[in-house]
Amino acid sequence: MLRTSKEAILGFTRAKAMSFFAILATAFSLLVLGLFSLALLNLNALIRYLENKVEIMAYLRDNADPGLVGLALEDLSKLEGVHQVRYMSKQKALENFRADLGPDSDLLQDLETNPVPASFNITMKPGYRDTLHVKRIADEAQALTFVEEVDYGREWLRWIDIFKHVVSVVGATAGALLGLVGIILISSAIKIAVFSRQKEIFVMKIVGATNSFIRRSFLLEGFLKGAIGGLLAAGMIYTVSEIFSYKIRPVVAFSDRYYLYILLAGALMGLVGSWISLGRYLRRI
């Protein structure tokens, strides 16, 4: 194992340009994939933020029976997907309206009656904040005899659903394509590195080195190149994230574990690329 490690380390000095190219290819591929993943992470955070704003407002008639209102409050709270149902009285609704008006709240001083209706404010659990589930609860509320009107921002919610679907499809498709391009790029870089040292491999075969020994040294070398490329990519992604947050606006950053995954992904790509490239060459000599 010591001799294999020595050969792998010497491989860096024997083909410096090719080693640098392989490391650079790995780092660039993972950098592009990582930045794309960072963009998706923040888009999904935006979607969750918008979904947290989803609320069903059921406005009650002024003559609503308090007993029926209390029973309906309990029934609605038990429906699947409902997180919370809060009753807002007419007085509380008027106070909130005054607060929203701010300096213009004096316009409401001369009111003889309270024109703001009482309401049920219904919030949904995560996973139930799409048009299908929200509409189902809204219809249940609308069916109550003492409910005047139900509002849940239908058009706004529909655009959130469309946005979420587009992000999901584009993210999955582009992520897969970027990953495939990255593997091809890294494999090609390592293949060039292997072919540039074909004389060295041929000499190793002549002096009695087995395919197993040659493969181990090159696989370890590919593993190390990939790991270094992954480390560079992780550092660049972290730097870009920090600069963007500091100079432009805060972003949702990756966890520390994700940067470890980038390093491991680079090492794995280098290992697989070396296996594929070297395997084809060894079968021909």
> Are 273 and 191 contacting, i.e. CB atoms less than 8 angstroms apart?
yes
> Are 27 and 35 contacting, i.e. CB atoms less than 8 angstroms apart?
no
- pLDDT at residue number 149: 92
At residue 4, does pLDDT exceed 60? no
The more confident residue out of 121 and 1 is 121
Residues paired with residue 122 on neighbouring β-strands, in sequence order: 56, 85
Distance from first CA to last CA of the chain, Å, rounded? Answer: 24
**Neighbouring residues of 133: CB distance < 8 A, sequence distance ≥ 6:** 81, 124
**Which has the closest alpha carbon to 271: 2, 6, 8?**
8
Q: Count of CB atoms within 10 A of residue 60's CB?
A: 23
Digit-coded pLDDT (tens) for 194-234:
676 677 777 777 777 676 777 777 778 778 888 888 899 99
Q: How far apart are CA 218 and CA 147, in angstroms?
A: 74
Q: What percent of the chain has pLDDT over 90?
A: 21
CA distances from 233 to 23, 143, 226, 264, 284 (A): 10, 56, 10, 11, 34
At residue 156, does pLDDT exceed 80? yes
Tell me what the pLDDT averaged over the chain comes to.
Answer: 81
CATH 3.30.70.3040 residue window(s) in the chain: 55-151
- pLDDT at residue number 176: 81
CA distances from 47 to 33, 42, 96, 121 (A): 21, 9, 27, 21
Digit-coded pLDDT (tens) for 167-176:
888 888 887 8
CATH class for domain 55-151? alpha beta
pLDDT classification of 103: cutoffs 50, 70, 90: low
**Neighbouring residues of 111: CB distance < 8 A, sequence distance ≥ 6:** none
The more confident residue out of 29 and 86 is 86
Among 133-137, 150-154, 175-179, 263-267, the range scoring the smallest mean pLDDT is 175-179
